[in-house]
Structure 1
Amino acid sequence: MSAPEEKDFSVDRATRPEKPGTLGKEVMIKANFIGVTKFSYPEVHYYSFEIVDQKKKKAGRKDSDRVFLQMKVTKKFGTNTYPTFDGGQVYSPTELAIGHSKQTRSYDITVPVEADGSGREKTFKVEIKHQGTIVLTSIGDYVKDNSKTPWDGSIQSNLTVLNAFANNKVRSEYLSVGKKAIFPPSRDNRPIYLPGGIEMKQGFYQSIRPGWGRLVINVDICATTFYPAVPVIDIIPKIVKHPRDRHEKSRDDLRRGLDRKEIDVLNWYLKGVMMFVTHRSDNRKPKYKVSYVDHQPADLAKFRQGNKETTVAKYFRENYGQSLQFPRLPCIVVVKPQDKSKSYFPIEVCEIYKQMPDDARREMVQRTAVKPWDRFDRIEGAIKGIFRHNNDENLRSIDLVTDPEFIKLKARVLPPPKLTSNGANINPQGGRWDLRRFTDCPDIYNWSVMVFENRSYFPPEVVRNAMKQLRNSLHEKGLNVSTDPYIEYGSPHGDYEKSLALAYQKARIKKDRPPQLIICIIQKKVLGASGIHAQIKRICGTILGVVSQCIVANNMKGPNPNRWRQICGNISLKVNGKLGGKNCVLAERELNFGTNKSYMVFGADVFHPGREEKGRPSVAAVCASMDKSVTRYVGRYSMNRKIRNETIENLEGMVADLIKQFQRRNDVLPFQIVFYRDGVAEGQFEHVLHEEVKALKRAFDRIYGEKDVKPQLTFIIVQKRHHARKEDSDRSGNCQPGTIVDTEIVVPQEFDFYLQSHASPLGTARPTHYHVLLNEAKFPVDAIQNLTYKLCHLSVRCNLTISHVTPVHYAHHIANQAKHFVMWDGASSGRSVTLQMPRVRESKPRLRI
């Protein structure tokens, strides 16, 4: 019997409605874009460009750039040619010397010593081959005023070519990171160092983008960091030392080795960290991911070498001619995921990159948070003094001319919505408001405190006084807290599950009822604190079935009591939301979905692991509103099986489960669904639209059945990682919250807009870019923009408008926490867990691994 054919769901991408948006007050603003005033959209030849060294190993990016520049200087590409290189392919408006030959042309290129005397002369073998031509008229048709041309692969390839021409010259002149960011020397040529020896460089970013009727160039400032390498043996004293010990262990102390407890602490810190080794005679420093720290010292740890056993210390002495200085220290073990084989490395030959401490991160934020007028002055200086687009030989070769002045455009400022709380009307001013009492509050009849700190440093009376202030703050906001909490102590590096279970059980015995809330107090300087927060939430939420709230211990102490009082107010917001309460809601008739029937709002995001976690699958999260006021949400998350897959693989199952939850709570299925999807680039729109929208349609079929009317679906992409900035003439230089831009720097046929929904008193605000890809409810421009702005006012975590819609804010938070929840064994197989947040559930969720 043949398998049933999969149902074909047609998906028509939304276009911009004919009637433009008119809601709000018109203002004139300035954007960090310059316009392309002349461009003929020529045909460009492209060539493959393969480079290997004398050992037939593929050249790195830096060497590839040097080889290309050397070939250009020595006229290997021919005379009167202007080729560009983006790190992968070579582009040229005219044919290079190799012509259209389908045969590969080979060269032996010797790269001389660098100008500063560093490096050494190297010889590379280059193979270059003509692959075809790219016609740039595709992007020209796409940006026309009355264009109906949709985004497709040709548009993306055109932009790749154009950005290669725009960035090739400056990338060859300055330090660069990626294809679009450059870092010229500072004016005084003095490096900037952050705490911990981390170097920060400030530079500029540029990208050619499609605009309304023309191309535009987006130019912005950017920053990057360079981390110094640190021998593991030098950081051991800081790791195994208790934070309140006066003296660190010396190197001589380490010669005696570590006890089991100290090794456990070291294991907790190093597990999963990327390291490299320094003992090889060929000067190579291969990278490895730490699996664990062995309990056996190097002079006792044994492994098989051929037919005999040997110790790690003896192996290094016989094979590398070096006796270990610290043979009593344990070894770092690396387990290969392919065959589970183990490699042992003495600690003294291992180095790691220093992590960015909190004070360094804070200083970097302060240094990069510049006012809009300062940012625009620096960008203007870079346009005229560094990029000099109209003098760039590569841009001149394709006849591209720009206007160096910033684009000025019309924007609209939407009016803020009215909020209510406990019967009182609230009018947000400047993206913020005061919230005296919450709308809906639960009773707290039993709660406990788990202190992951030393009792002598953080005595019970200090905890009790701090909790008394927190209890008063909860009372002021409307929560009835009938008892003082039970207080328990645990080790900062101990068994969190055991400690939390103990606090749970003792509080339950004391009140003869299970606690609803566990306050967890942790050290500020505990390494990997964000991971500890996540583990505590996982244990409390999925194992104990109780809400948790983490607090940094140092926040409770200090000379300024008003600071702790303010922190208690912020904690109250989160606690009330986690316990199922409502802080504030939009006033009646503020939410307009164009229907009197039921509706749901979804948010979705995918967390991708960093480069140091190569091979680890991504974690996807989805959350959905459960009530008419769109303030209570339920969330789900799962691990993708395919490595670095941007698509949410289990979307159908998670959405179906959330719709069932909605039906159980409201006795009705939603008639309309608005789905906000975060973290997708333009080149992935079509793929995500077809894959994920079809998954949503399949979920609707599962829940609604074949005969029922399916919900109207509006699918919106949310983009936060871009370089578009705006400047207004108010006191801060930023645009006002509610500022909408949907002309000039967008294309006419796409239904997209920039919305700056939040205030940014310290630096330059970044608007969020929304793309409406599906509009089955036929929302007008004003309706979807106004709805989106109002959904930025409903986060339970603050009394501020946030920079993007609340469901995406929650989904991002869930995915970021869930990366610590899931278990991963180094293979690509997925794991799935369920989560609800805030806590609006009937029963304890189950952890499925």
Structure 2
Amino acid sequence: MASGATTAAANIGMVVAKRPDKPGIEGKVVELKSNFIAVSPKFKYPSVHYYSFEVTDSRRKKAGKKDSQKVFEQMKLKKKFGVNAIPVFDGGQVYSVKQLDIGHKKETRNHAVKVPVDADGSGREKDLKVEIKYQGEIDLSPIGEYVKKGSTRTWDGTIQSNLTVLNAFANNKVRLSFLSVGRKAIFPPARDNRPIFLSGGIEMKQGFYQSVRPGWGTLTINVDICATTFYPAGPIIDIIPKIVKNKWDRNEKSRDELRRGLDRREIDCLNRFLRNVMIFVTHRDNRKPKHKVSYIDSQPADQARFKQDNRDVTIAQYFKETYRHTLQYGRLPCIVVVKPDRSKSFFPLEVCEICPGQRYEDKLSDDARREMVQKTAIKPWERFDRIETAIKDIFQHKRDENLRSIGMDVDPEFIKVKGRVIQAPKLNNGTDITPEGGRWDLRRFIKCTRLYNWSVMVFENRNSAPLEMVRNAIKQLCSSLSERGMEVYPNPPIEYGNPQGGYDKSLLLAAQRARITKDKPAQLIVCVIQRKVLGASGIHAIIKRICGTQLGVISQCIVANNMKGPNPHRWKQICGNISLKINGKLGGKNSVLADRELNFGTNKPYMVFGADVFHPGREEKGRPSVAAVCASVDKTVTRYVGRHSMNRKIKNEIIENLEGMAVELLNQFQRANNILPFQIVFYRDGVAEGQFQHVVQKEVEALKRAFDRVYGENGEKGQKPQLTFIVVQKRHHARFMPVQKVDSDRSGNCRPGTIVDTGVVVPQEFDFYLQSHASPLGTARPTHYHVLLNEANFPVDAIQTLTYKLCHLSARCNLTISHVTPVHYAHHIANQAKHFVSWDGASSGRSGSSGGRGGDTVPNTTKCEKMKSEIENEMFFV
């Protein structure tokens, strides 16, 4: 690359787009209530002293977060920081406006602290040591400058550091008072004190979240409700029925049924649930020692034996003789605890209780996830009522001594902002369509494909999915496709797969049978599968991998249960939705934006990108991340081509091979249009504020290198494109609700197309919230868009309306979606491509090793399969 290009790329990260001087005016103005409250503008932004706070046990091993928190509480209670000191602790550092009483600034103080047993009497006293060392002062004035109107300051590490300090002061009191997760979420006891259980015995807790955020001319505090999952605290005997309950069982096991013991499936289920969970035992009189579960024994307590004084005794005998405890559930197995010296302890389940406050971090089942969504979906007015109650009764900012110590006064009233509801675009499928409430009826496709070479493979036994039922269901699918304009071969061959012989063989057979016309390859394999195997490692993933990376055939999965039932109208509706996907996958277009709706400010060719990175969960530590990029290749921005790649560095948020994927997509655009794009709008998902500068520097630089390779370093093949780079954030806690009922939709939410770009954002940065979708069940979450690069000089209205219109073009549904279509597609590509990785690292999480750390690289033996050339430029991901 030429030196000039290198210099330009190096400077990219220094220039982040500013909000245009002319504000947006498009749309109807509405008054909205936000879940933000304002910090008084009189706040002085003082300097704060900060200290390291390292807690170790008698073996000099670093203590956990809970023990460190307890040490801080004990020291504060006993005035060890000074008689009048009001320090706060965020789990890592201690902060104080006044210098703490630890002597000279450079001095290190060591304290011995005795931590008492837990409030429920479990655990044991611990003698811990803490080392406190002065680190310096943090000046909070930068964030004061950052939120000022007319400021030119951009987000950087200093602003992030200031917010960390301010959040420590705002959240310290409630974190000490209630169960907390992270630094910002708390879970007070439920009013009725009744736990909420999900499938599999997991407990869901509902709580509150608050975070100090920059606003328009002042700081704000964002307060919201939240929910997460925990292991249920209490006697394991009471929880077993919920853990082992089969979803097909109508009732949970009774205590009498538990006395008969558990079968092998139930023991395995219990074993998976309890492994590595902390418990305490209750048979030791006044002591309740804690242990970590290693596994569940396969034998019941009245049969499992061990040697004692040269005789064989059962666990049940031992407890009766030693502790005078006659087991009531002797037929149940024991918890086994393997000690560091490899010796084992056996504890009957009836003397064990799960310690409170342990998060359940494994992946939820489909049923549990669905239940959690249902239980947390509440209407906007109820959400805001709960938040208002929490502000008054739980957070009580006016009475918070930590906020007083820093001089932060908070107005408990919700901030009201002016939003704008922009008009929905007109769509066209041969005639103009006007969406109503974020949805529209689509009876015909504007461009249809011909479906001749296809087959159906049933991965379900004939009793559950008889041939006649499948044939009738496929007949209805053919009818739905035909009604929307597709030419369809109506009698595709139907085969029953044999998973024992290998899915690849069954799918190869389906591909061979799909060639109705012998001179053309298979177009589509429809796979009928069981719902219960739709998970990450189930048949759904296997089908996508084999069809995409080995056979080069597009697949469409259908859940067998959807074909059944007494209501044929439901299956007809499902066929309508499947028809949208099939037409999109095979190269058709369901609908497009009407003429003159797309406005890129130029008559020259344009291209829209979407990008996302899939990161593995906690249970897959060490597994590589997979990046996906897709891009439009037609002027209606409805046909997309996707690419995926594997990041070599563990937990790397940056798309490492962005340059290579961008080159491929630009070349594909040129092949499709005989010209290269003049303008590119790039939507990037999954980036936090603290990563903005890094992403702009690395990924925009990679895109510029790709432009050099495709257009020529001096633009020999045409003028290099203007790049607009926009970050898309979905994981945040901002919510809005119309003040006047007349401005809301039926569910009480803002209407689709609502824009917020004042009040709760900073004046100088080009960002906005857009609620593009309807949310009939709960409170809609808007998407937060940050324009980081604006080489095309898009005005505010132009980028906001373009973004909203791009939410109407998903081929998967006839609804406006919650974020732009290219990001929606990139997410689906990454979600499929994660199964294309042949990963030989040890699985981890609760059941395995520690896995890789951020910054480590995956072994060279780790590979990521590519899509076959036959379909890599098709919309297989729809």
For residues 577-626 of structure 1, give each alpha carbon's deviation from its aligned partner in whole angstroms, at most 9, with x where no partner exists. Answer: 11111000001111111111111100001111111111122111111001
Q: 2:627, 2:830 within 8 Å by CA — same for their partners in 1?
A: yes
- In the other structure, the counterpart of 1:717 is 727
Matches within 5 A, 1:399-798: 399-421=407-429, 423-491=430-498, 495-508=502-515, 513-526=520-533, 528=535, 531-708=538-715, 709-728=719-738, 729=741, 730=744, 731-798=746-813
Within the alignment, does 1:112 sit opposite 2:144 as a pair? Answer: no
Hey, what's the Cα distance between the residues in 2 that align with 1:707 and 1:187?
A: 68
Q: 1:33, 1:407 within 8 Å by CA — same for their partners in 2?
A: yes
Q: 1:714, 1:776 within 8 Å by CA — same for their partners in 2?
A: yes
Hey, what's the Cα distance between the residues in 2 that align with 1:316 and 1:654?
A: 64
Q: 1:227 to 1:506 in 2, by over 3 A?
A: farther
Instruction: Choose the corresponding residue for 2:67, options 63, 66, 80.
Output: 63
Q: 1:445 to 1:685 in 2, by over 3 A?
A: same
Within the alignment, does 1:13 sit opposite 2:21 as a pair? Answer: no
- Residue 843 of structure 1 and its aligned partner are, at CA, apart by 13
Report SS of the residue matched to 1:72.
helix
Hey, what's the Cα distance between the residues in 2 that align with 1:364 and 1:620?
A: 28
- In the other structure, the counterpart of 2:177 is 173
Identity of aligned residues (%): 69
- In the other structure, the counterpart of 1:40 is 44
Q: 1:280 to 1:703 in 2, by over 3 A?
A: farther
- Residue 507 of structure 1 and its aligned partner are, at CA, apart by 3.2
- Residue 237 of structure 1 and its aligned partner are, at CA, apart by 10
For residues 786-820 of structure 1, give each alpha carbon's deviation from its aligned partner in whole angstroms, at most 9, with x where no partner exists. Answer: 10000000000010000000000001111122111
Within the alignment, does 1:97 sit opposite 2:101 as a pair? Answer: yes
Report SS of the residue matched to 1:673.
strand
Q: 1:61 to 1:225 in 2, by over 3 A?
A: same
Instruction: Choose the corresponding residue for 1:29, options 24, 27, 32.
Output: 32
- Residue 196 of structure 1 and its aligned partner are, at CA, apart by 2.4
Q: TM-score scaled to structure 2, two decimals?
A: 0.83
For residues 713-768 of structure 1, give each alpha carbon's deviation from its aligned partner in whole angstroms, at most 9, with x where no partner exists. Answer: 00000000000000012242211111111101000110000000001111100000
Q: 2:707, 2:720 within 8 Å by CA — same for their partners in 1?
A: yes
Q: 2:366, 2:535 within 8 Å by CA — same for their partners in 1?
A: no
Q: 1:839 to 1:737 in 2, by over 3 A?
A: farther
Instruction: Choose the corresponding residue for 1:801, options 805, 813, 816.
Output: 816
Q: 1:578, 1:839 within 8 Å by CA — same for their partners in 2?
A: no
The one-letter code matched in structure 2 to 1:570 is N
The one-letter code matched in structure 2 to 1:735 is C
- Residue 824 of structure 1 and its aligned partner are, at CA, apart by 1.2
Within the alignment, does 1:189 sit opposite 2:193 as a pair? Answer: yes
Q: 1:75 to 1:651 in 2, by over 3 A?
A: same
Q: Which moved more, 1:206-215 or 1:474-483?
A: 474-483
Hey, what's the Cα distance between the residues in 2 that align with 1:468 and 1:785?
A: 43
Q: 2:514, 2:523 within 8 Å by CA — same for their partners in 1?
A: no
Hey, what's the Cα distance between the residues in 2 that align with 1:740 and 1:844?
A: 32
Q: 1:605, 1:815 within 8 Å by CA — same for their partners in 2?
A: yes
Q: 1:5 to 1:629 in 2, by over 3 A?
A: closer
Instruction: Choose the corresponding residue for 1:813, options 821, 825, 828.
Output: 828
Q: Which moved more, 1:195-204 or 1:586-595?
A: 195-204
Hey, what's the Cα distance between the residues in 1 that align with 2:242 and 2:393?
A: 44
Structure 1: gaps (5+ residues): 244-249, 259-265, 289-296, 299-312, 326-345
Structure 2: gaps (5+ residues): 250-257, 282-288, 317-345, 355-359, 842-851, 853-857
The one-letter code matched in structure 2 to 1:441 is C
Q: 1:627 to 1:509 in 2, by over 3 A?
A: closer
The one-letter code matched in structure 2 to 1:105 is R
Q: Which moved more, 1:386-395 or 1:361-370?
A: 361-370
Q: 1:454, 1:491 within 8 Å by CA — same for their partners in 2?
A: no
Hey, what's the Cα distance between the residues in 2 that align with 1:377 and 1:279?
A: 37
The one-letter code matched in structure 1 to 2:809 is L
Hey, what's the Cα distance between the residues in 1 that align with 2:200 and 2:375?
A: 16
The one-letter code matched in structure 2 to 1:625 is S
Q: 1:673 to 1:467 in 2, by over 3 A?
A: same
Hey, what's the Cα distance between the residues in 1 that align with 2:720 and 2:361?
A: 53
Report SS of the residue matched to 1:365.
helix
Q: Which moved more, 1:526-535 or 1:432-441?
A: 526-535
Q: 1:667 to 1:353 in 2, by over 3 A?
A: closer
Q: TM-score scaled to structure 1, two decimals?
A: 0.86
Instruction: Choose the corresponding residue for 1:381, options 369, 379, 389.
Output: 389
- Residue 114 of structure 1 and its aligned partner are, at CA, apart by 2.6
Q: 1:113, 1:121 within 8 Å by CA — same for their partners in 2?
A: yes
Report SS of the residue matched to 1:695.
helix
The one-letter code matched in structure 1 to 2:440 is W
Hey, what's the Cα distance between the residues in 1 that align with 2:690 and 2:369?
A: 32
- In the other structure, the counterpart of 2:148 is 144
Report SS of the residue matched to 1:583.
coil
Q: Which moved more, 1:817-826 or 1:89-98?
A: 817-826
Q: 1:578, 1:837 within 8 Å by CA — same for their partners in 2?
A: no
- In the other structure, the counterpart of 1:363 is 371
The one-letter code matched in structure 2 to 1:635 is G
Superposition CA RMSD, Å: 4.0
Q: 1:588 to 1:272 in 2, by over 3 A?
A: farther
- In the other structure, the counterpart of 1:133 is 137
- In the other structure, the counterpart of 1:305 is none
